[in-house]
Amino acid sequence: MGKTLVTKGDVNRLGDIIRKEYPDVTNQTKKQIQEHRVSFKEITNKTFNDLSLLCRRVNKNAIITYRLKRIETIIGKLQRLDKKQKFSRMWDISGCRCIVDNDREVYRLEKLINKHFSVRKTNDYINDPQPSGYKSLHIYIEDDKKDKIVEIQIRNRVDHNWATLVEITDLLFDSELKEKGKDKKLQNFLYLLSKKKSLKFEDKEYVASIVKKYKYFEKLSNVFTRNYLKVRNRWFELEAMYNHKFFLIETRKNEIPKIDSFLLFNKAESEYFKRYLQNEESNIVLTHLLKPTYKNMSSAYSNYILTVHSVLDDIITILQELILESVKSKKTFSF
C-alpha cells in the first residue's frame, strides 16, 4: 500500500470523504483508513515499550496492552462527531492501556507519564465520571514531531471490568449503548452497576427487574459456558507456538471467538484488514500484550474472549443483599 496520506490536510480530506460516503464507505477509502492506522505503528510500539517500564514501577502485575482503533469504529466515531471536527484531531487511533489494582496506582503512574512523555492533554474521568458511569484516566501524548498522538488509558480493575461489560452487553443485546445509548433501560442498569457499592434498595430492585426481564444472567452464563473450553484449548495451542506476540481476536454474537497469534505486526495487520473486508459485522481487534497469558487476555479483553466476567458475581451479591433487606424490612418482592 503506497503512502498517500502525507500531511494533516490529507487526513482531513480523507475524513470528508468518509463522511460523504457514509454509510457505504468504499473499499478504496477503507484502504486509506487502514494506511492511516498503520502509520501509527512505530509511535505506538515505542509508547508501549516505554509505558511497560513505567507500569512495572507501579505494579509488577499490571496488565498492559496496545491496539490500533478498529476501522468500523473510526468510521462510526467520525460520523458521530461534529462535522467541524477534523479527522486529524481524532486522538485515539493509537491506544495503550494499563490496568492496575486501584486509583492510587493510577495517579502514581500518571505522575511518571508526565515526567517521561510530552503530554498534550489529560481527561480525568475518575474524579469526574462520564454520565454513563464510565471511569478512566485518559492521557494524550505526542511524538517529537507533534504530528502523532497516542492515547494512554489507565484504569483500575473494577472500572475496566465495567467498561468491558458495556461492550459485552452491546454485542449480546444489540443495545448500541456505547455509541447511541439506544436501550435506556440497559443503560440505566449498567450505570447502577458502575456504583454497585452504594446502591439504594430501589436501585437493587431495578437491577433485579432488568436481570429478570432480559434474562441477563442466563444469557451471559450460556455464552461463557459455550465458549470456555474451546477458547481455553485454543489458547493452549497458541502458547505452544514460538514467540507469539500479536493477537487477532474475532468475535461474533452466536459463534465461538476466534483467536490467532502472529510473530510479525505487518502480517497480523494484513490479516486483520482482509478479515475486516470479508465480514464488517464481526468485532475484530488486533492487540499486543506484555504478558500473553490466558488470565491476562481474558481480563484485558473479556469483551472479545467471552468466557468469564466478574459481573456474574456482582449480580449474585446484589440479589442476595436485596433478599436480605426485603426480609428485614418485611417488604414483598417477587423474584
**What are the pLDDT digits (tens) for 123-177?**
999 999 999 999 999 999 998 887 899 999 999 999 999 999 999 999 999 988 8
User: Does residue 334 carry a pLDDT above 70?
Assistant: no
Q: How far is CA 266 from the centre of its chain?
A: 22
pLDDT at 177: 81
30 C-beta neighbours (distance < 10 Å), count = 20
Between 152-156, 284-288, 314-318, 331-335, the lowest mean confidence (pLDDT) is in 331-335
Q: What is the pLDDT of residues 60-101, one digit of tens each?
A: 999 999 999 999 999 999 998 888 889 999 999 999 999 999
- pLDDT-derived band of residue 333, with 50, 70 and 90 as boundaries? low
223-237 mean pLDDT: 95
pLDDT at 335: 52
User: Does residue 300 carry a pLDDT above 70?
Assistant: yes
pLDDT at 84: 83
Q: Is 335 inside any structural domain? A: no
Integer Cα distance of 132 and 178 in angstroms: 9
Q: What CATH number should be reported for the domain holding residue 187?
A: 3.30.460.10
pLDDT at 81: 87
Three-state DSSP class for residue 283: strand
Give the residue numbers spanning the domain of 15.
8-326
User: Does residue 245 carry a pLDDT above 90?
Assistant: no
Integer Cα distance of 40 and 258 in angstroms: 25
Integer Cα distance of 26 and 232 in angstroms: 37
Q: Is 333 inside any structural domain? A: no
Question: What residues contact 291, with CB distance under 8 A and at least 6 apart?
Answer: 63
Q: Is 1 inside any structural domain? A: no
Give 161's Cβ-side CA count (13 Å radius): 19
Considering only CA atoms, which of 327, 309, 335, 300 is closest in space to residue 62?
300
The pTM (predicted TM-score) of the whole model is: 0.93
- pLDDT-derived band of residue 249, with 50, 70 and 90 as boundaries? very high
pLDDT at 313: 95
Integer Cα distance of 144 and 151 in angstroms: 15
Q: Is 332 inside any structural domain? A: no
Number of structural domains found in the chain: 1
Q: Is 56 inside any structural domain? A: yes
Q: Is 216 inside any structural domain? A: yes
253 C-beta neighbours (distance < 10 Å), count = 13
Q: Is 2 inside any structural domain? A: no
User: Does residue 178 carry a pLDDT above 80?
Assistant: no
**Residue that is written with C-alpha cell 451479591 in the block:** 317
Query: What proportion of the chain, given as a percentage, has pLDDT over 70?
Result: 97
Instruction: Specify which residues 119 forms β-bridges with.
Output: 141
Q: What is the pLDDT of residues 20-74, one digit of tens each?
A: 999 999 999 999 999 999 999 999 999 999 999 999 999 999 999 999 999 999 9
pLDDT at 225: 96
